[in-house]
Chains A and B, each alone.
Chain A
Amino acid sequence: GAGVSQTPSNKVTEKGKYVELRCDPISGHTALYWYRQSLGQGPEFLIYFQGTGAADDSGLPNDRFFAVRPEGSVSTLKIQRTERGDSAVYLCASSLAGGPTGELFFGEGSRLTVL
């Protein structure tokens, strides 16, 4: 596809379970970002990849959250021992080179509900 693709679009899980959210960026985009958006809030930065490496993971809230991008394309956000407070829409974005003035292209998000 031409845009950023995120799967699943909706995920309902129980407290304590493990969850993986997948992001397929625009082909050729080297920079990839994960954000979390709670109801009524703006997107909150989680982590940024340049190629395969995490260039900035300062937004990850705790060690239950982890993200990988092993081949510099698809990324997976992993959440262990989910809590009700993790419920949110998780957004992925990519940009061509990751510079400070570059446009971020966002996917439609993965809505996570933890019961």
Chain B
Amino acid sequence: AQSVTQPDIHITVSEGASLELRCNYSYGATPYLFWYVQSPGQGLQLLLKYFSGDTLVQGIKGFEAEFKRSQSSFNLRKPSVHWSDAAEYFCAVGAQGNTDKLIFGTGTRLQVFP
């Protein structure tokens, strides 16, 4: 069965520092991969998605992610974090046979210190 693992439950960074959030997936074919962000009490906002093609994907708010098939990873990066980036980040994969069914990881909470 497909699954998504986000190894880091909580990450704290200083404003202006670089960021990398880890995501590993289990999937039998080429996956559809997504990163979403959730602010407290809010729904999910799509940051970026990967379906095929260039393995480095650019998203909104200065985020990017790189698909690495050999490592089954889709890590999210940002070169310089802003205080407004503090939120919960979720990695998700479209289920095999029904890519409309998104399987989410448990999330990584990002805290940003000034």
Q: Do A and B bind each other?
A: no
